[in-house]
Structure 1
């Protein structure tokens, strides 16, 4: 092994992550894994790590991302359940491993950079994104002043902006594998400069097609289980606190605070019921960050009318005090009262979840081994969950076009992340509703 190869083998392994069905929890482990660096663009990665089972709708985006990795490259698959083998086979020589297998991942990286492992070949044929050769009066795909696809690339059209002026507008799709968005979210945008002029939500790629593997496991499975069987209050509240801290770690990563994000993610992974004081100290420091406050205040305001009749942290950040734990006998005597904020912006939602995480640990510690009896509605980390009802995020997903239209790019990403959407949870609830 040459000097450069030895140096490369000793560096952190740069990975780009594709989250399939049931893979969201395991994918988070990569962010805090020693010797691994999760990157935001496939061109910066050496390894493509597929976590969970890919669906039919994720197959082509997955292949496109694979071919954007520079050579040498390799692909790992961490299945979280049966199914998906035929879809992953389209990538060729894939290394199959256990979820969160750090040693296996680093071994593949070392083999790759040392030359002991051959680079993955392209998964797709090298064809133009659009027909352009010989098209149009000059044979380069353009027609008229701004029409066609010169050299295969789309040109901006014209569309009115919010002030009624006709400006250039570029059609753009982001997702379903865009790292800044929740896994699976697809947005069709009309972009004028850095402003999103039009927004449409695309199809949910986790919605099962014939032959697709089943969905799950989901982060909220323990809350669904509580609707069918007894579960201790401490189990539910610890899961709630862990969820909110994981979400906050992702929000910090979005805003470039990678060290703080990693610190919070590590705390979430090792969380125990007696850590309320430690979490409260971290939360206190975060809510005093003036940079975060400036970046989130006034961004993505959700009005009380937008969430009328809903519950969950987003609604409570807009002034609601609805919470399924109110009146639940399992919480009697624990001192539970809903936390709420009233500004309804991304900053309120950030503080709301951090406050609920701290509160949840206090409830878990005071509850001891108290058991909650099986009940039809359980307050999950995103809102009420119950078998046969829509996921809490479904109504928020429908709000996206009106919330994002007119926002600048950075504010739009902040808004989307602040809503804590889970496309697989939404698809799973829809699938249950559709069953006879």
Structure 2
């Protein structure tokens, strides 16, 4: 799990696992290590404790504070797993799952409504974001934004022209990953890391242009993203993805910064209202939300419903 502002060590972790053929688990049940990246505040620490109890044993836990030593710390995980021994930790009782309530739907019928928290730990999900939604069937009837891990010491990572371009590739990798196009998501990550390592802009721009053409020509991706979550000045999810890649290809990210993250968080509950649960993660990924850009230590309670 990643704290807001810990983008540097997160990228180092992703690069190490990719280069060593390791996979990142989608759920706690599939994991054998919990890697905590960045400074976890009290709410994020509570989330980490819940995750840790969900990991099947043997399992190990690791905290990464910055980019220095990420590879060395991760390289020791296999040995730590091999040397794991059971402990006498008392088992804890799990709370009962919440029951569905009832509320009127848009047609005035009283239907079951279930409150579901999304985040802050999901694949390709913005660090520190929790989106609490009320579901009737598979449709969002209410949404509220909560932010975790934002402190007075949180600083954004994506500053400067090179990092701004890398951010576009990181955002594209996340959206393509949520959409299920893993190969293209990984390619975006590789180009992102090459750019951050000082790779020539010409090579990266050429590769991104080739990648962008494949994205534009994909009928399945178009069916998933076209018309999804349109926003004034930003277009729909497909346009936003295409624009990110086009900006990197023509090296013009410095002049094309997106709207402040606070504005996007303010409209997020409205954007997901009425959407099916299956597309909420696509909507969130298409907005490229960096919670570290929030200047106030607390920011939440934004809702619609």
Q: Distance in 2 between matches of 1:177 and 1:282?
A: 28
8 Å Cα contact 1:182-1:421 kept in structure 2: yes
Deviations 1:277-302 (A, max 9, x none): 22211211122111111100111122
Q: Distance in 2 between matches of 1:120 and 1:294?
A: 50
Q: Distance in 2 between matches of 1:350 and 1:423?
A: 19
Structure-to-structure mapping, 1:6-405, within 5 angstroms: 18-33=1-16, 34-35=19-20, 36-80=22-66, 98-101=68-71, 103-112=72-81, 114=82, 116-118=83-85, 126-129=92-95, 152-202=96-146, 204-208=147-151, 214-216=153-155, 218-222=156-160, 236=161, 238-271=162-195, 272-275=200-203, 276-302=205-231, 304=232, 315=233, 317=234, 344-360=235-251, 379=255, 381-383=257-259, 392-405=260-273
- The residue number in structure 1 matching 2:303 is none
Aligned-residue offset at 1:178: 2.8
- The residue number in structure 2 matching 1:312 is none
Larger helix share, 1 or 2:
2
State the TM-score, normalizing by the size of structure 2. 0.87
State the TM-score, normalizing by the size of structure 1. 0.62
| Counterparts in 2 of 1:161 and 1:281: CA distance versus 1, 3 Å | same
| Counterparts in 2 of 1:289 and 1:119: CA distance versus 1, 3 Å | farther
Aligned-residue offset at 1:99: 4.7
The total of aligned residue pairs comes to: 290
| Counterparts in 2 of 1:380 and 1:28: CA distance versus 1, 3 Å | farther
8 Å Cα contact 2:132-2:143 kept in structure 1: yes
- Unaligned 5+ segments in structure 1 are 1-17, 82-97, 130-151, 223-235, 305-314, 318-343, 365-377, 384-391
Deviations 1:4-36 (A, max 9, x none): xxxxxxxxxxxxxx1124312321333343232
Aligned-residue offset at 1:51: 1.1
Q: Distance in 1 between matches of 2:32 and 2:149?
A: 26
Equivalent position SS for 1:196:
strand
Equivalent position SS for 1:53:
coil
Equivalent position SS for 2:228:
coil
| Counterparts in 2 of 1:270 and 1:120: CA distance versus 1, 3 Å | farther
- Unaligned 5+ segments in structure 2 are 299-305
